[in-house]
Amino acid sequence: MTDTPPDRLSVNPSSPYYDEALLSRGIGIRFNGAEKTNVDEYCVSEGWIRVTAGNAKDRAGNPMTIKLKGKVEPYFRDA
């Protein structure tokens, strides 16, 4: 594996950007300088993250998310 996290990653198994091997390694996200622990998906090149919106669910029972724009800095926690 490489030492740089991917440009885009999701924790949702139905997403095309899901990668179980990378997630099991442990990835942390700094968003605008603050540590975020509730990130569902991120994209570094486009500068956004998706975070859960409380306990709200959509029609399919998936958690509702909010897209926030800013500086995204992913890193591996085990390093």
CB 75 within 8 A of CB 30: yes
Report how far residue 52's alpha carbon sits from residue 62's, in angstroms, rounded to the nearest whole number: 10
pLDDT in tens, 9-42: 999 999 999 999 989 989 999 999 999 999 999 9
Angle at 11 between CA 7 and CA 13, to 5 degrees: 115
pLDDT level of residue 78 (50, 70, 90 thresholds):
confident
